[in-house]
Amino acid sequence: MDDGLGPVDSQAAAYVEGFCKALKAKDNASEHTIRAYRSDLGDFLRWAGREKLDPLHVGHRQLRLYLGELDQAQYARTTMNRRLSALKSFYRWLSTCGAIDEDPASVLQGQKQGKALPRKITHPDMMRLLAVYSKRDGEGALRQQSPADMRNLALLEFLYACGARVSEASGLKLANVDFKAGQVKVFGKGSKERIIPLHEIALYSMRGYLDFARPKLLAEKGSEYFFVSTRGNLMTPDAIRKMFKQALELAGLDPTLSPHDMRHTFATDLLEGGADLRSVQEMLGHASLSTTQIYTHLSAARLKQVHAQAHPRA
């Protein structure tokens, strides 16, 4: 098999597809995660093809050679560790399936890297972003909203109001939005269910979209999903990311920001506003409190900045 980037072992490629299907069926991995694993493993298979190695019969030395070449090519540590994670998961799965006798990746260790603080969207920038599709322009003048504008505004308000992941916003069902109680039920990683409260501004935008825009987008189609595309279909994670990028461009903001930074901003704003860590953990759907604690570091950094600016002896 040759995909134009170098020969790929067809048997190994079939196993990669089987592994990706297992990720979906057993681990309920997102399409984004599966796409990343397939891409990373595809890169390894092409490398093995160029080196005339059988991916199903390599040892840890050959895997280290592959990682060493990535290092020489000056790949970022995050990329190298992600590639290693893909290899370890793949070979562990092959071993479990009985496709290989020994797992060559089990002894490999990733490079240590400092934890990068999540990015927070500043309040002025957040207001500019949320104003892109609102009823009023930047100068406060009324403007006509299209059905897509109303949906996009509701989506942005929703993401900032509850810190949902893009996949959770995409999979949000109409039946799981409770306007009376002011809350939503979302299903996160591993289909874990959690209930998150929503504030009035988000509820207002979502209600306006539901009552006036969504029926026009559906055009007499039926859908169980809350957010739908201009053709009345499910609003996919990729479509949400594309909309977000367009909103950034219209707002004149940093194009490298992502919807996940809305989630980071939500968590940081809650902690800086006095919310306790356990409550934020519950709303974000983090399995471990240590994952949520990174936001306390970000808040501490902000406090340190304020201290340096305000204290007379700082």
Q: Is 92 designated active site?
A: no
d(CA 255, CA 290): 29
Return the closest-CA partner of residue 249 out of 128, 91, 117, 92.
Answer: 128
Q: Is 189 designated active site?
A: yes
Report H helices in 121-274.
Answer: 123-131, 147-162, 166-170, 200-208, 214-218, 237-251, 259-272
Element containing residue 177 per DSSP (H, E): strand 177-178
Q: Residue 26 in 3-state DSSP?
A: helix
d(CA 261, CA 132): 17
Tokens, residue 87: 């290899």
Cα-based distances in Å from 10 to 13, 56, 114, 135: 5, 11, 38, 55
Q: Is 263 designated active site?
A: yes
Catalytic residue among 46, 120, 263, 264: 263
Q: Residue 172 in 3-state DSSP?
A: coil
Q: Is 192 designated active site?
A: no
Catalytic residue among 128, 165, 214, 264: 165
Residue pair 173/235 in contact (Cβ under 8 Å)? The answer is no
Catalytic residue among 92, 173, 189, 241: 189
Return the closest-CA partner of residue 182 out of 164, 195, 193, 191.
Answer: 195
Return the closest-CA partner of residue 188 out of 28, 37, 21.
Answer: 28
Catalytic residue among 60, 245, 260, 302: 260
Q: Is 123 designated active site?
A: no
Tokens, residue 138: 């930047």
Q: Is 286 designated active site?
A: yes
Return the closest-CA partner of residue 106 out of 96, 120, 119, 114.
Answer: 96
With 0-12 / 13-18 / 19 or more C-beta atoms within 10 angstroms meaning exposed / middle / buried, residue 185 is: middle
User: Catalytic site residues?
Assistant: 165, 189, 260, 263, 286, 295
